[in-house]
Amino acid sequence: MIFYWGIRAQFPELDLHNILFSGDYRQEFTHLFDHKTLFNDPTVYLNITSKESPAMLRLAAKIGL
């Protein structure tokens, strides 16, 4: 599942690439592969493009994100 969100806030504690791991990785994979369902504590990947490209930050501000 992919979401693209524009957020005005800045997060200095996060980097360009961020992975927030599930508290129960084994159970997450059991849900995904055996039950074909999403786990209630998923592993999440965050990419903050403005950390790499200040131009992306300016573009987002220009279009009102």
Cα separation of 42 and 46, whole Å?
A: 13
Rounded-to-10 torsion of CA 16, 64, 10, 40: -70
Q: Look at the block and give the residue holding tokens 């501000």.
A: 61
Pull the structure tokens for residue 54: 């200040």
pLDDT exceeds cutoff 80 at 63: no
Cβ contact 21:46 at 8 Å: no
Per residue in 3-58, pLDDT tens?
888 787 889 999 999 999 999 999 999 999 999 999 999 999 999 887 887 777 77
pLDDT of residue 53: 77
pLDDT of residue 64: 67
